[in-house]
Amino acid sequence: MNTQILNEKLELIQWLSTLEDASIIKKLMQFKKEETKDWWDSISEEEKKSIEKGISEADNNELKPHSEARKLYEKWL
């Protein structure tokens, strides 16, 4: 692991161990909860259906060439 990141993590641990402000602790807990959410739970039903359709098509060898996908999505690329 990167030494700088390790040092920053240790600094945060030390700071957290001395922290007594309940509001900051509560905010940190909320941040932790939000960061560990499954991204699947935060996308729309339409997005989920689209992903599931793609997986199904891939499982059934119904894949499209990259060039076709690129044409379809080029406005977002």
Which pTM does this prediction carry? 0.45
Distances in Å between the Cα of 7 and the Cα atoms of 16, 29, 33, 34, 60 are 14, 22, 23, 24, 48
Per-residue pLDDT of the chain (77 residues; tens, 9 = 90+): 789 999 999 999 999 999 999 999 999 999 998 887 788 988 999 999 999 999 999 999 998 899 988 998 888 87
User: What pLDDT score was predicted for residue 64?
Assistant: 85
pLDDT, residue 76, reads: 84
Domain segments of the chain as ranges? 3-76
- What is the pLDDT, as a whole number, of residue 60? 95
